[in-house]
A and B are shown apart, each in its own frame.
Chain A
Amino acid sequence: DTGVSQDPRHKITKRGQNVTFRCDPISEHNRLYWYRQTLGQGPEFLTYFQNEAQLEKSRLLSDRFSAERPKGSFSTLEIQRTEQGDSAMYLCASNPQGRATYNEQFFGPGTRLTVL
């Protein structure tokens, strides 16, 4: 399967701990997005990478959040000093560059974070 993968699928942590999630996009996709989805809501944009460059961050991404995409391949999203309000599904999506793509994004299965 060559789809978008995310690891771990589930993470339970205690308040104040740091967590890191990983996303592996489809290999030829140079654009990568992180979204957060809370219960009963649609996904909300967090940040965007084109290759290794982080080109946009949402105001939702507080100073406790950091994302990287070294070498323009996989990406990591770290949350420091987790709070209960960080509990959500974190989704990763990717798409390739090119006019024929219709800007469709391909989503991973998500990482469900529970902060106790």
Chain B
Amino acid sequence: AQTVTQSQPEMSVQEAETVTLSCTYDTSESDYYLFWYKQPPSRQMILVIRQEAYKQQNATENRFSVNFQKAAKSFSLKISDSQLGDAAMYFCALTKRGGGSNYKLTFGKGTLLTVNP
């Protein structure tokens, strides 16, 4: 069984500042992917960033970066230079990497990010 825990139901940040969203997970899989998805209000979920568990280097995508601590099973998302458009629900998610074809995602409960002008 896989579990994903997001301990921050809500976070807020001032525009142009930096914010970090937390995520911890548990899995019996030896190899897996971790994702952060963004779900804006009334809009569809889009991928923000992904991390392959076998890679030690933390993933970065422009203003978004992760701090992946495999031993601690921690996967936090850092958003730098926050913009009003970053306001959304953010979900941490996990899926296996190999073995079979069903790569269903296990999601956390989400963190609602508010960006204040």
A residues with a Cβ closer than 8 A to B are 3-4, 31, 33, 35, 40-45, 48, 50, 55-56, 91, 93, 95, 97, 102-105, 107-110
A48 in contact with B104 given A40-B109, A107-B44 (CB within 8 Å): yes
Interface size on B, residues (CB 8 A): 27
B residues with a Cβ closer than 8 A to A are 4, 6, 33, 35, 37, 43-47, 50, 52, 91, 93, 95-97, 101-110
A44 in contact with B107 given A104-B35, A107-B45, A109-B44 (CB within 8 Å): yes
Cα A35 to Cα B91 with chains together (Å) = 14
Smallest CB gap from B103: residue in A: A103
A contact residues around B102 at 8 Å (CB): 48, 50, 55-56
Tell me, rounded to whole Å, the shortest Cβ–Cβ distance linking A99 to chain B.
9
Cα A50 to Cα B102 with chains together (Å) = 8
Contact of B105 among A40, A45, A56 (CB under 8 A): A45
A33 in contact with B110 given A104-B35, A108-B44 (CB within 8 Å): no
Smallest CB gap from B89: residue in A: A42
A contact residues around B4 at 8 Å (CB): 42
**Is B101's CB under 8 angstroms from A43's CB?**
no
Smallest CB gap from A91: residue in B: B45
**Is B44's CB under 8 angstroms from A50's CB?**
no
A97 in contact with B101 given A42-B109, A44-B107, A104-B47 (CB within 8 Å): yes
A contact residues around B103 at 8 Å (CB): 31, 95, 103, 105
**Is A42's CB under 8 angstroms from B108's CB?**
yes
B contact residues around A97 at 8 Å (CB): 101
Cα A31 to Cα B104 with chains together (Å) = 10
Cα A76 to Cα B66 with chains together (Å) = 36
A contact residues around B45 at 8 Å (CB): 43, 91, 107
Tell me, rounded to whole Å, the shortest Cβ–Cβ distance linking B97 to chain A.
7
Smallest CB gap from A40: residue in B: B109
Cα A42 to Cα B93 with chains together (Å) = 9
**Is B101's CB under 8 angstroms from A31's CB?**
yes
Tell me, rounded to whole Å, the shortest Cβ–Cβ distance linking B95 to chain A.
5
Top 3 A-B residue pairs of the complex, sorted by shortest distance between their CB atoms: A42-B107, A107-B45, A103-B103
A contact residues around B91 at 8 Å (CB): 42-43
